[in-house]
Every structure is written in C-alpha cells, then in structure tokens.
Structure 1
Amino acid sequence: MKYYLTATLFIVFDIEIVVLYPWAVTFDITPTNLRRAFDTGLDADTLLERQTAVSERGTELPQPLAYTVKDVARTHGRGPLGLPHPPWSPTPWPGPCPPANHNPSGNHGSVALCRRRKGSVAGPRNIPGQG
C-alpha cells in the first residue's frame, strides 16, 4: 500500500534525492505540479491523504501546504479571469485577436483561435488585420 502511494507521488511531483542521505526524498510541490496532479484526476482530499500517508510517521501536513493544495484545486481548470476556458481555445482572448503566427500553447503547427467582438470564431484566414 505504501509503495503505491509513494509511486503516485513520484509520478506527480518533481523529486530531489539528497546525496548525503540517499533514503531521504524531498518532493518539490509547486502550483504547476499540483495542476499536473489534478489533470490526472486526483482531487485535493485524495492528494492530501496520500501525502499524509507517506509523510514521516504519518504526521499532519504543514498548514501552508494544505492551504496551497486546496487553493490550487479551487482554481484548477479556470481561466486567468476566473472563467472556464472555451473548449476550442487554450487561452481566452479578452481584446483584439492575436497575430496569425501567435501560438500561446507552444505547439508549433497549430493555429490559435480567438473570439471576435460579436462572438464568432476567427481562424487563420479571417483574423482582423491579417489581410
């Protein structure tokens, strides 16, 4: 059981193994790593339970860590304005459409879509200002 819990945490979080004490492992827990955990389907309560189970002697987790996990879980899957992302766009564009060669997701070869003022979708051929 403990091996399963440890394996889950190794998959989700970045780890550092201390050279002087090879049996000591530290988990680098950041909001990015927490989002990656939530993307795999874990929820905040399950993640906190698993972290507590593998902590030294099952001690309670520090309050700032528990707060960070719950805070990231609360905002997971929401846009920068607190709104859900449209299913067709990696990021919502509140203003004018971006240039045709702009790609916020970093995946080369795909085209970023955006909303026009009237709510229509602008593709690579009809982005305003891209003649």
Structure 2
Amino acid sequence: MTDCDLCGKGIPAVIPVRTYPPLLRFAYPEGVWKGLCETCLDSAQKTYLEVNRNHTSCRRGKCSLCGSKTGVFSVELQIPDFSKGIVRKDVDVCYRCLKLVDEAYVRFKKAQIDEEGRIHGHEHVHPHH
C-alpha cells in the first residue's frame, strides 16, 4: 500500500507524476516522482484544462506537489472519510505541475486503453484478405 501525495488516501498503486521541487533541483536535476490516486489525477487534469480554456488567473501560494512558492491554481480534491463520506478540499498546484499531471494523465489513460485491448484479445488482431 502507498499513499496519494495530494489526498493521502492509501491505495495499492499510485500514478507517477514527475515534479521538480526547487529545493531539490541540484540533488535531483531529473526531478522527483510523486504518486497520485486516479481521483486526484482526474481533478488536477480537469483544473489544467480549465486553466488553459478560460485563462484562469493564478494567485501566489505554495504548490502542494513541488513546494514552489509561485503562482498556483486551486484543485478540488474529493477525500474519502469514513464518517462523512466524501470531503471536498482545495489544494494549490502550480502551472508547471498541472502540465506534468496532464502528461501523466495522458500516459495513464493510454496504458488503460492498451490494457483493455489485451484483456479483450484485441492486441494482435490483423484482418486477413
């Protein structure tokens, strides 16, 4: 089990998102992996699309993924709570991390589609003429 780096939910596997924490840029120039659950990945990707579509303005804050103190956007999380059901909470994520989340989202969805094709036996279907 591992925990989502945004909502803290414990799940068997997380979806990797590369981030570039400014305090670690010399120690880890290739970035640091953060893990998100599918719900948080979807929420952050939705925010990324809205920011690009509506040219949403950012506000100054600290990114919940990389720790940068920069312009951030609010991402609404849906955190499971045993006593309250689903609790909504906003976290701040910078544009750079939102863009990296979008790339991870595309990779994740492509892998899901590829996996579904294999499960249903469509991996090597070639029409015979």
- Structure 1 length normalisation: TM-score? 0.30
Task: Tell me the TM-score normalised to structure 2 length.
Answer: 0.31
Say which structure is richer in strand. 2
